[in-house]
Structure 1
Amino acid sequence: MISDLKFLSLNVKGLNSPRKRRLLFRDLKRKSANIAFLQETRISTTAAFRLADPSYSRVFTSCAIPKRNGAAILLHNSCPLQIVDVYSDSAGRYVLARGTCSSKWYTLMSVYAPNGPDAGFWADLSSFLRLHAKGKIILGGDFNATLCSPLDRSGHPPHAGLTSSPSQDRQFHAFVRNHDLVDIWRVQHPTTKDFTFYSPVHSSYSRLDYFLISPDSIPLITTSGIGSITWSDHADVFLHVRPLASGSSGQWKLDPLLLLKKGVRKAVGSALDSYLLLNDTPDVSIHTLWNAHKAVIRGVLISQAAYHKRVKLQAIVTLQTDLRRLELRHKRVPTDDTLAQLNRVRADLNGLFLDDVGRSLLWSKRRYYERANKADTPLARMLRPRHRTVLFPLIRDKKGQVHKSPEAIRDAFTEYFTNIYNHSPTHEIGNRDLIDSIEMYLKHQSLPTLDKVQSILVGSPITEEEIGRALGLMKPLKAPGPDGFTYRYYKAFYPKLKPILCRLFNAAREGAPFPAESLLATIVLLPKPGKDPENIDSYRPISLLNTDIKLLAKILALRLDPLLPVLVSPDQVGFIPGRQAYDNTRRAADLVWFAETYQRPSLFLSLDAEKAFDRAEWPFLFTLLKHLGFPPTFLRMLSALYASPGAQILIPGADRIPFEIRNGTRQGCPLSPALFALFLEPLLLAIKSDAGISGLTVGDLEFKLSAYADDVLLSLTDPPTSLPRVMDLLGAFSALSGYKINITKSEALPVALTAEAIANLSSSCPIRFTQSELVYLGVRLTSCSADLYSANYPRLFATLKAELECWNKYAISWLGRLNCIKMNVLPRLLYMFQALPVPLVASEVIALQRSIDHFIWAGKRRRVARHTLYRPRSLGGLGLPSLFTYYYATQLAQVVAWHAPAGSRRWVDLEASLMRPNKIHHWIWLAREHRPLITTTCPAILNSLRLWHRLAVKCELTSTPSPMTPIFGNRDFRPGLHVRPWRDLLDSGVCRILNLYHNGTLIPLQDVSGLSFLHIFQLTSYATQAHIKQAALAPPTRFERLCLAGTYPRGLISSLYRDLTSLLDWKELSYI
C-alpha cells in the first residue's frame, strides 16, 4: 500500500548552527516529511549549500545576501515530483518550485511574510504567483497574519469583523481572495481554535502559519493538522496528500547501523543458532535451508529495529503527548500554572532533542576528526558532485512514444530491457544447430586452452578460506539486492554462516541450481554523461544482485584472474591483471604518428557496441568456455548463476515487475568483466588472423586492433578492402553471439586518406568520419600528432582549475586540502601522463601548480614554503605532489616497461620495431659515445629518451658504465656488432656485462656451445678490462633491478616518485 505524501511547513528561526540543522533534519525524518517548506532560515546566499542532506538532496532556496529572512523548499529523495522550474526573489521572502508528476503540473511555494503591514510585498507576491504558477498550487509559510482574527487569535472579540483586524491581516485576506486560495486546515476544522505561535510578551496565541491551496487541490488532501511548539518558536503545520503517483511501498534492506546497537548481534546470533539446530537436517535441501534462513533472520532484524525505535522514541512520545495536552489546555484557559507546566515539559522535550543531536554531532565530529583530513570516504564524498536522485519526468521509447507516469515509464523500460535480455528467443543452449555452428566457428580460431593443472584448480571444490578472502574484498556498505542483506551481515556472522555457504556453493558445483528468487536482481538506471535523459537508451543498467550470489561470482572471478593473461591476447587490456588502459592509448598515438609520417592511408575506427555486456548470449559463452578447457565443475557453478535469472526495474513511484533474462553478463556482477573479455576474444582473433583485413605493419609486426572491454579501436590500411571484410566478420560473430555494433554511432579518424577515398567509404559504410580528433579511453587522438597536447592537456588543466575553485568554498582543513590533491587531482593527471607520451608545456604546468597552492592555502597568504610541503613526510614535509616529478616518474615507469618480454605489451613491441635495428632496452644502457644513431623520430620514444638522458645520472638511476650495458651492438665491443656468431651465447641468456660474472668470477665461456676459441678470447679480453669488470661487479641500482625483472610491479610510479624525491638535497628545516 502506498502511503500519503506529507507536506510540512515550519518557521525554523535560523539555521546557521550545525546543531540546529541536524535537529531540523532529524525532526523531518522523525515526522516522515516528504516535502518541507521552511521560513526564516537566515542563511546567506553563499552558504545555501549547507541546507543539503543525503535524504533531502533537492533543495530550493531564496536567500538574502545578509543573514536574514530566507525561505526554502526541501524534497525527500522518495518524492516522485520532478521539479522543472525554480523561481525566487532576492530578499529571501519566497521561493517557488513547479514540476510534474504523472503528466500533471504542481506549484509549490514557501513564503515568509514581513512582520508588519507591507502593501508592496503583497503586491509583488501576487504578481509573482500569477506569473509563475502552473497547475495545482500548494503554498506553505509563515504569513505573519491571520485570515480570521476571532478564530485565529486568542483574546480577540468573537464577533469582530475584518475591518477591525490589523492592516496586515486585511492585506493577507485580499491576497488569498484575489488568487482564490483555500485555507485547507480551516476547511477541515471549521470551528476549531488552534494556533501556531505564542507571544510571551503579549501572552497571546495566533495562527500565523498556513497551507493555502488552489480549489482543484482539495480532493488531494486527506488530513491536515497543527503540531506542537518544540525547538522553534512556531508550531509546524502539515498536510497529508494522496499519492501523486502509485507505486511500491519500498523494499526492506538491512540498516547498516542496526548491527552496532546493543544486544542486536546477540539476538540475531541466538536466532541463527536455533534455526540451524532445528532445520539443518538431512531431509532439508541446502537451498531451502539457506533461503528460509533469510526470511527468519529478516523477521528478527525487523523486530529488533522496531524495538530499538520504540525504546528510543518512548520518552519523546510521552513528552509530546503531555506537551500537546498542556498546549490545548493553555490555549483554552491561559493560566500561569499551565504555562509553567507547559514550559517545563517543552524544556524537557527540547533537552531530549538536543541530547540526541549532541550525541549525533559528537559522533560526526569524531568521525570527521579521524577521517575528514585523510584520503578516505568522507573527503571523497565532499568532492564529488552533489547527489541527485534519478527521476524520470518523461521517457521517449524507441518508437518515439512519450511516457510520463511512473507506471508507464516502468513498463517502457521493462519492455525495452526485456527485448535486450531476450533478443534471440531461439538461441538457447538446447539448440543443437546453433551449438554446432558455434563450435565450427570456434574451431577456425586459434584459441588457447587451459592445461590440466589450471583446469583442476579452477574447478576444484570451494573452500571456506576462499569464501573468507572474497568476503574480505567486498565493501560492507554496497547496496544489497532484493533480499536486503548487506555484506555487513555476512561479515558479522561469518563464523556461523561459512559452513552453510560452503555447502551452498559446492552444491552449485555439483549441479544444483539456485532458486529463481535468489537470482533476481534490481536494476538501477544511471544516466550516461552527455546523453539526452529523455531517451530510453541513455541509461546504463546496474544490477543489484543478492549478496550471496555476488559472493560466489567473486570467488569465480578470483579464480579466473590469474588465467586471463593466458587466455586473452595482449591486444585486450580491460580488467586483465597486469594490463592498463594506457597500453592501448600510447600504442594508438604511436600508430597515428606512424601512419601520418609515412603517409600510410589508414582508418582508425572506434566501434560503438550496442549494450555490449547485456547482449552477450549464453550458448556462445558456455560453448566458448568449454572450448577453452574449463572443466564441467566450473561450468556448473557458472550455470547455477545463469540458470533462471530475473530482474526488476527500480522506478520511483512504481511497483517493480520482474521479467526473465536470457542473455547478457550483468553489469554489477564481479564476474562480468572477465566473462566479457573471454567472450570478445574470438572476434578479435578472427579479425587479426583474417588475411583480407590489413592493419598497420611496422617491421614484421601488424597492428589491427586494440580493446578495453567494449571499447574496440581498429587500425586499418587499405580501407576499401579491409572495412567491408570487418563488417562481414562482425556480422558473422553477431549472428552467433548476440554482439551488435551500432555502425551509425561508430566513429572513424582517417589519416593520409584523400577526400575522394573518404567520400567513397562514407557512401559504402554509414560510419561517422571525423577529420580532427577521435576520443578513445578518455584521450583525444588527433590526425596530426603535433596536436595531441593541445587537444588534451589544456582541457584537463581548465577542468581541474575550475574544480579547485569550486572546492575552495568547502570547509576543508589544510591537511584535507593536501589530500584532495593526492586523491582526486593527481590520479587524473597520472592517467594523462601515461596515456599521452608528449612533452609538457612548462608554463601551463606551473600555472596549475599555482592553482593548487591557491587551493591549499584557501586563497590566503602562504605560510609555509612550497619546497617544504614537497618534502616527504619522513623528512618533515607533507608530501605535496610535485607535478613535474610525477611526470618524470611516469615516463621512467614506461622505460621500465620497455624491458617487458616480447609479446606481453603490444606498445612495447611497436616501439621496439620502430627502433630497429637497435634494441631500445639495450640502447639506453650504452654510454653515449658508444650509441649508434637513432633511426626513428617517434615522439613517444624521443620524449622518453630525452627524459632518460636528463635523469639517468643526475638521479642516480644508473652509473657509467652500467652493469646493464649490453655486450652486443656495443661499439666498445666491436666483435659483438655482428650478432650472428654469438647466437648461442644470447640464447643462454648472456646479453649484458653483468651476465658475464657469477659470484665475482667470469663464467666459463668454453661451456657455451658454438663459440670458437677466437670468440672466447675476444669476449674474455673485453670482460676483464678494469672498467668493464668493475661495472659488471657493481651492484645494480634499484632502477636497474626493476628493469632486469622485466615486470611492471604494482605501485611502480609511486615508488619511482619516492626515489626521485629522496635524491633531492633536503636541507635541515628551521621553523624559527
Structure 2
Amino acid sequence: MCTFHILLLSAMLKIISYNVKGLNAPVKRHSLAADVLRLKPDVVCLQETHFKRLAHPPLGIRNFSTQYHATGPTKARGVSILIRSDVVYQLHRKISDPQGRYLILVCSLNHKTYTLVNVYSPNTEQLSFISGVLHRVSLVATGVLLICGDLNYSTDPSRDVRSPKIPIPTKRSIRQGQKLRDLFSSHGLYDVWRLWHPGDSEFTFHSRVHNTYSRLDYFLLQSSSLSQVLKCEILDITWSDHAPIFLTIGEGGERGVGKAMWRFNDSILSDPGALAEIEQTLAEYFTLNTTPGVTPETLWQAHKAVLRGVCIKWASRLNQARQADKLLILSQIHVAAQANSSDPTPAHLKILLEAQARLSDWNYKALLYSQRRLKARYYAFRDRPGRLLARYLRPMVAATRISHLVLDSGRKTVYKPLEIGNALAAYYGDLYNLQSDPHPSSFCEARVDRYLSDLHLPSLTPTQRDGLSSPFTELEIATTIKSLPSHKSPGPDGFTDIYYKNFSAQLTPHLLSLFTSAAETGRFPEEMLRTTIVPLPKPGKSPTLCPNFRPISLLNVDVKIYAKILANRVAELLPKLICSDQVGFIRGRQGPHNTKKLIDLIQVIQTHRLPSVLLALDAEKAFDRVDWMFLRKVLLKFGFPVSVLQSIFALYASSTQFSIRNGTRQGCPLSPLLYALVIEPLAQRIRQDDGVAGIMVGPTVYKIGLFADDILLTLAEPTDSLPRLSELLTEYSAVSFHKINLPKSQALTINVPGNVRESLKQHFQFEWREDYLQYLGVKISKSPDQLFDLNYKPFLSHIKQLLFKWKRTSLSWMGRMAAIKMSLLPKLLYYFRTIPIRLPKSYLDEVQSLLNHYVWNGKRPRVPTRLLNLPIRRGGLAMPNIHLYHRAAVLASLAEYFHSPRPPQWTAIEQSFAKQYLITTVIWLTRRQRPPLPDILPLTRWYLHVWDMSRTLLLNTTSLSLATPLEVLTHWIADFDSARWTSRGIGHLHQLISGGKMLTFEMLQQRYRLTEAWRLSYYQIASVIRRPGVSFQPTLPQAPLSPFASFVVQPSTK
C-alpha cells in the first residue's frame, strides 16, 4: 500500500513581530529559537537584530531556513524576516534599507500574494521616517499589504502609555499620536490590535529604568484584509524589553501540507521509568492477548496502538518535566507584569525584575547545557571519521520542497501541495500498474511460458530448495534485528529500528508467529504493507517533472526485517543462479570486475582490429516496471519452491490506495536481488543467441556485462548484431514490461567504417558517442591510452576543488587527516580499483603533495610524513600514502585470480593470453625465472610489474615462499605431476617444511599415507628446495604465514 500524506488544514498564517534588542549574545539567539519553537509561527519579523552589514550569521532556528536581513554599517538597528519551511513560498521582489531600518518583501505565501513590510523606526522624527517608508511601499505593494514592527511612537498616549512620573500625557504627544493615526488613515491602514481590543490597555515596551509602559509595536492592515484577521494579541515581555505581538490571518479555503507522521521518540529510552513501563506494557499485553482466538496479525498490529499511546504519554511527560520550571517562571512574569502595568510601583517592579532575572538565568543555563553537549560532541567526534564530520564537510543541500509540477507536456502547471500530491499519486499509480497502460503489448502467461522455455537457466537443487523454504527461526529474526542499520527513517507506523533493537527479546517470539503466518497465507495486514513514497529529485534533472524523481519507499521496520530474512536466504544462492557477468548486488562480485573486463576487451578489439560497438543501455524506471506475474514465472524457472514464492509475494499484496501490479520497492532489502533474477532471462537470451555476435577470447564469447539495471554490451559485427539485439529487447519488453530508453542509451563504435557508422545512426536512435561512454561513474574510452586523460586528470581537479572548499572549515590537523580518509580516499580508491592502469609517478606525487599541504594548512609540517604514514599500532596515524594505496589496489586486482570457486570473468580473458602458463603460478617465480610472456595484455603486465616490486614485502622472503603451490615446480622438474600430490591434500610447500627443513619421506608417508611410488617425486622436490639460495626461516610446524600467503592458501576464508 503506497500513500502520499496530504493533510488538509484550515489555511491560517501566523505572524510574529518581535523587537529582540540585539542578537549578538548566544543566549539571546537561544532564547529566540526557544520562543519560536514554542509559538510555532509561519513568519517571524525581528527588529533591532544589531548585526553589522556582511557579518550577519544565519539564525539557526529549526525549520526556518528561508531568511532575509537588512543590516546597517554598525551594530545597531537591523531587521529580519524568517519564513517557515512548510510554507509554500516564492519571492517576487525584495527591498532592503541600507541603514537596516526596514525590509520589504513582495512574495507569495501559500499561493497568495503578500507585501510584507518589517519596520524599525528611529526614536526621533518618526513621522517623517514612517511617511517615507509608506511612500516607498505604495510604489511596490501587491496583494495583501501587511506592515509590522517597532514604530517607536504611540498612536494614543492616553491609553497606550503608562508612566508613574507623567500620569497624564502632554498635549504635544497627543497631537503627534493624532498625526500618526491620520498618516495611517491616508494610506488606508488600520491598527489591528486596537481594532480587536478597543477598550483594553496592554503594552509592548517596558522601560526598566523609568518603570514606564507603552505600546510601540504594531500590525497594520488595509480595510480589505481586516475580515481575514482571526486573532491579534500581545504576549508577555520576558528576555527582551519588548513583547512579541502575534497575528493570525485566515487565508480562506484550505491548504495541503505534508502530514507529520508519528515517530517513536528514541530519547525516552534514556529514562528508566519509561523503559520499565514499556517493558511491563509489552509483557502484560502479550500475556493477556495471546489467545487462540486472536490471530498473530491482529495481535501484532494492536500492540503498536498500545505502545504508541505509552510512548506519546512518556514523551509528553518528559517534555513537560523539562519545561516545568520555565512555564512556572513565565506564569510568574505574566502575573507580575499585570500588577506592575496596572500599578507601577517600586515593589511591583522589583517582583517583575526578579521574575525576569530568573527567566534569564534559566535560559542561560539551558544555553550552557546545550553548548556543553555540543562542544563535547564536537570535541569527541568532529576530528574523527563519522557521521558528524561527514555532515560538517558536506555542502549545504538545496531545498527538497517541490514548488510546482509541470503536467501534460507543459500545458498545465500545478502549485498547490494537494494538487502536487495528487499528480505524483496519479503518476506512480500508472507506473505501478502497467497492465492498464495501452502502450505495452498484450500480456499473457502463455507468452511468458514460451519465452522462458527456450532459455537455459540453472535451477535450485533439492537441498537448496529445502534450505530456502525452511521455517523461520527466532535466532534468524534476532540476528536480523541486530544487523539493522541505525538512524534510518521508519515507515508509516513510526516504530524505528531502535525500538526493535531495545525490545528484541520480547518482540522476537511474536514476530516469528507473524512471519510464519504471513508465509503460510501469502498476505500481511494492509496496515503493515503501507509504504510512504518519498520522491527524491534526481541530480542534474529538473524537479518539475514527475519522471525526474526517484521514488524511495519507507517500509515499516517489521516488514523490512521479514524482507531482510528472505534476502539473506536468496543472497546465498544467487552466485549459483546468476551468471558471473552480473556483478550488481551479488555476493563476492563488484562493479570493478566489469570495468576491468571492458578495458581488456577493448584492448582485444584494438589489437585484432575488430569492428565492434559498445552499447550502454538505459532502462527506464527499471525497478518500478518489474511485472509481478513475470517475476513469479522467472522464480519458478529458477526452481524456487511455491512456498517461497508465497512468502515473497506476501510483501506485494494488493493495495487499497492505488492498484499495484508491478515494481519492486526501492528501499526494500529484497528488491535488488529480485531484480537480478528478473533481468537474468534477458541476459541469457542474448548470451545464447548466435545472431548477436560478441567478442571471442579463447573458447568464450563475451557479449554482456551487468550491474543491476546498468547493461553494457560488447558486440562484434554491428550491422547484424544490432538488429537482432533490437528484436531480443522487444521480445523481453513484451513479456516483462522492461523498457529501454533509446535516446539515453550510449553507443560507441570501434574500428567501424564511417559509412557503416552513419547507416547505424540512421537506423538506431541511440546517443552515439565519439570518444567514450559513461559506465559506473567512469569514462571508458575506445583507446585504453585515453583512460588517464578522461578520468584521472579531471579527478585531480576535483581533489583541488574539494580541498579548497574544506579549507574554510575549522578542523584541527588531525581532523583534516580524518576528512581525507573518510571522504576523499574512498573516491580515489574507487578509481584505482575500477581503472587499475599505470599512473605517472608525477601524478601520484602531486596528489600526495595536495593532501599533505591540506593537512598542515599550507604551513611547515610539524611531524615527519614517514611517521604519519605508519600504522597506528606502530606509533603513526595511518596518513594515506597514495603510492602504496595505488600499489595495493593493483595487487587487490591480482589477488582476484585466487577467488574460489569462480574468479571474475576478466581474469579468464587475461589468462587466455598467457597461453599454457597460469598467472597464479608464474607470480611465484622471480622475474628472471619467469618464462617470456610476449602476448599478455597490458593490464596483466602491469599487475606482474607491481607484484615484482612488492613480492618481498608480501611474502617476507626473497626466495621460495612457503605458500608456493606445487604446480610451480613444473618449471624446474620435467614431467612433474603436481595433481598427484594435490590428491593427497598437499598443495603448497609449507606442508612439506617444518623448522626450516624439509620433512623426511617417512614422516610424509605416515602423515599423508604415501607409498614407495612417491619417493622419486619426493626427491625431485627436495632437489629444488635444497638448491643454493633457497632457504626457509626456522618456524614452528603450525607457524602463521604472511597475510598474503595465508590468503593464497585459503582464499575463500579471506
TM over 0.5: yes
- 2:775 paired residue number: 776
Q: Distance in 2 between matches of 1:71 and 1:875?
A: 57
Contact 1:102 1:406 in 2 (8 A): no
**Shift of the alpha carbon at 1:123?**
9.5
Over the residues paired in the alignment, what is the CA RMSD in angstroms? 3.9
Show CA shifts across 1:490-526 (max 9, x none).
2232222221111111111222521212111111111
**Shift of the alpha carbon at 1:542?**
0.7
- 1:335 paired residue number: 345
1:828 aligns with 2:827: yes
**Shift of the alpha carbon at 1:570?**
1.4
**In the alignment, residue 752 of structure 1 is paired with which amino acid?**
N
Q: Distance in 1 between matches of 2:941 and 2:105?
A: 59
- 1:557 paired residue number: 567
Q: Distance in 2 between matches of 1:54 and 1:937?
A: 61
Question: Judging changes above 3 Å, is the alpha-carbon distance between structure 1 residues 882 and 1022 closer, same or farther for their aligned structure 2 residues?
Answer: closer
Show CA shifts across 1:134-166 (max 9, x none).
544545444555566665554586685789649
- 1:746 paired residue number: 745
2:476 paired residue among 435, 444, 466:
466
1:252 aligns with 2:262: yes
Of 437-446 and 552-561, the range deviating more from structure 2: 437-446
1:520 paired residue among 499, 505, 530:
530
**Shift of the alpha carbon at 1:417?**
0.2
- 1:1039 paired residue number: 1044
**Shift of the alpha carbon at 1:423?**
0.9
Contact 1:12 1:38 in 2 (8 A): yes
**In the alignment, residue 835 of structure 2 is paired with which amino acid?**
L
> What secondary structure sits across from 1:571 in the alignment?
coil
Of 737-746 and 489-498, the range deviating more from structure 2: 489-498
Contact 2:593 2:904 in 1 (8 A): yes
Show CA shifts across 1:10-44 (max 9, x none).
33344445444333322211122333233444456
Question: Judging changes above 3 Å, is the alpha-carbon distance between structure 1 residues 159 and 562 closer, same or farther for their aligned structure 2 residues?
Answer: same
> What secondary structure sits across from 1:744 in the alignment?
helix
1:1025 aligns with 2:1050: no
1:34 aligns with 2:42: yes
- 1:450 paired residue number: 460
Question: Judging changes above 3 Å, is the alpha-carbon distance between structure 1 residues 441 and 963 closer, same or farther for their aligned structure 2 residues?
Answer: same
Q: Distance in 1 between matches of 2:945 and 2:140?
A: 64
**In the alignment, residue 669 of structure 2 is paired with which amino acid?**
P
Show CA shifts across 1:245-280 (max 9, x none).
234653222222233335222233333333223322
- 1:2 paired residue number: 9
Question: Judging changes above 3 Å, is the alpha-carbon distance between structure 1 residues 172 and 63 closer, same or farther for their aligned structure 2 residues?
Answer: farther
Aligned length in residues: 1029
2:426 paired residue among 409, 412, 415:
415
Show CA shifts across 1:840-895 (max 9, x none).
34445444444434543456664434443333223333222222222222112112
- 2:889 paired residue number: 890
- 1:573 paired residue number: 583
**In the alignment, residue 417 of structure 1 is paired with which amino acid?**
Y
Listed as ranges, the matches of 1:189-588 within 5 Å are 189-190=197-198, 192-212=200-220, 217-242=225-250, 245-247=255-257, 250-400=260-410, 401-425=412-436, 434-511=444-521, 513-588=523-598
Question: Judging changes above 3 Å, is the alpha-carbon distance between structure 1 residues 277 and 989 closer, same or farther for their aligned structure 2 residues?
Answer: closer
Question: Judging changes above 3 Å, is the alpha-carbon distance between structure 1 residues 240 and 257 closer, same or farther for their aligned structure 2 residues?
Answer: farther
**Shift of the alpha carbon at 1:691?**
0.9
> What secondary structure sits across from 2:435 in the alignment?
coil
**In the alignment, residue 804 of structure 1 is paired with which amino acid?**
L
Question: Judging changes above 3 Å, is the alpha-carbon distance between structure 1 residues 1030 and 550 closer, same or farther for their aligned structure 2 residues?
Answer: closer
Question: Judging changes above 3 Å, is the alpha-carbon distance between structure 1 residues 314 and 831 closer, same or farther for their aligned structure 2 residues?
Answer: same
Q: Distance in 1 between matches of 2:113 and 2:329?
A: 40
**Shift of the alpha carbon at 1:1048?**
8.7
> What secondary structure sits across from 1:748 in the alignment?
strand
Question: Judging changes above 3 Å, is the alpha-carbon distance between structure 1 residues 249 and 711 closer, same or farther for their aligned structure 2 residues?
Answer: closer
Contact 2:94 2:103 in 1 (8 A): yes
> What secondary structure sits across from 2:528 in the alignment?
coil
Q: Distance in 1 between matches of 2:341 and 2:1053?
A: 78
> What secondary structure sits across from 1:712 in the alignment?
strand
Show CA shifts across 1:434-455 (max 9, x none).
3343233223222222222222
Question: Judging changes above 3 Å, is the alpha-carbon distance between structure 1 residues 867 and 1026 closer, same or farther for their aligned structure 2 residues?
Answer: closer
Contact 1:58 1:76 in 2 (8 A): yes
1:600 aligns with 2:610: yes
Q: Unaligned regions of 5+ residues in structure 2, if any? A: 1-7
Contact 2:926 2:948 in 1 (8 A): no
Show CA shifts across 1:738-792 (max 9, x none).
2211112212222222332222112111111111332211112223322222222
> What secondary structure sits across from 1:953 in the alignment?
helix
**Shift of the alpha carbon at 1:594?**
3.3
1:736 aligns with 2:735: yes
**Shift of the alpha carbon at 1:53?**
4.8
Show CA shifts across 1:578-636 (max 9, x none).
22222222222333343344332222211111111111111111222222222233222
**Shift of the alpha carbon at 1:389?**
4.4
**In the alignment, residue 561 of structure 1 is paired with which amino acid?**
A
> What secondary structure sits across from 1:575 in the alignment?
coil
1:75 paired residue among 56, 71, 83:
83
* Aligned sequence identity (%): 34
Question: Judging changes above 3 Å, is the alpha-carbon distance between structure 1 residues 602 and 1035 closer, same or farther for their aligned structure 2 residues?
Answer: same
**Shift of the alpha carbon at 1:303?**
2.7
**In the alignment, residue 239 of structure 2 is paired with which amino acid?**
W
Show CA shifts across 1:92-125 (max 9, x none).
5555655545544445555555565599987996
Question: Judging changes above 3 Å, is the alpha-carbon distance between structure 1 residues 449 and 971 closer, same or farther for their aligned structure 2 residues?
Answer: closer
Q: Unaligned regions of 5+ residues in structure 1, if any? A: 647-657, 1050-1072
Question: Judging changes above 3 Å, is the alpha-carbon distance between structure 1 residues 560 and 20 closer, same or farther for their aligned structure 2 residues?
Answer: farther
**In the alignment, residue 772 of structure 2 is paired with which amino acid?**
E
Of 320-329 and 609-618, the range deviating more from structure 2: 320-329
Contact 2:992 2:999 in 1 (8 A): no
Question: Judging changes above 3 Å, is the alpha-carbon distance between structure 1 residues 65 and 200 closer, same or farther for their aligned structure 2 residues?
Answer: same
**Shift of the alpha carbon at 1:414?**
0.8
**Shift of the alpha carbon at 1:968?**
6.4
- 2:670 paired residue number: 671
1:767 aligns with 2:775: no
Show CA shifts across 1:223-260 (max 9, x none).
22222222233322222233672346532222222333
Q: Distance in 1 between matches of 2:789 and 2:956?
A: 31
**In the alignment, residue 10 of structure 1 is paired with which amino acid?**
Y
1:924 aligns with 2:935: no
Contact 2:156 2:174 in 1 (8 A): no
Contact 2:114 2:145 in 1 (8 A): yes
- 1:55 paired residue number: 63
Q: Distance in 1 between matches of 2:191 and 2:913?
A: 82
Contact 2:236 2:244 in 1 (8 A): yes
Show CA shifts across 1:934-986 (max 9, x none).
3347443343333333333366665234456677688962746xx9x888778
Q: Distance in 2 between matches of 1:968 and 1:50?
A: 69
Q: Distance in 1 between matches of 2:825 and 2:134?
A: 52
| Superposition TM-score, scaled by structure 2 size | 0.88
> What secondary structure sits across from 1:925 in the alignment?
coil
Q: Distance in 1 between matches of 2:348 and 2:964?
A: 97
> What secondary structure sits across from 1:529 in the alignment?
coil
- 1:651 paired residue number: none
Listed as ranges, the matches of 1:688-837 within 5 Å are 688-837=687-836
Q: Distance in 2 between matches of 1:25 and 1:454?
A: 59
> What secondary structure sits across from 1:605 in the alignment?
strand
Q: Distance in 2 between matches of 1:311 and 1:996?
A: 74
Q: Distance in 2 between matches of 1:43 and 1:1025?
A: 84
**Shift of the alpha carbon at 1:83?**
5.2
- 2:630 paired residue number: 620
| Superposition TM-score, scaled by structure 1 size | 0.87
Show CA shifts across 1:552-578 (max 9, x none).
111111222222212222111112122
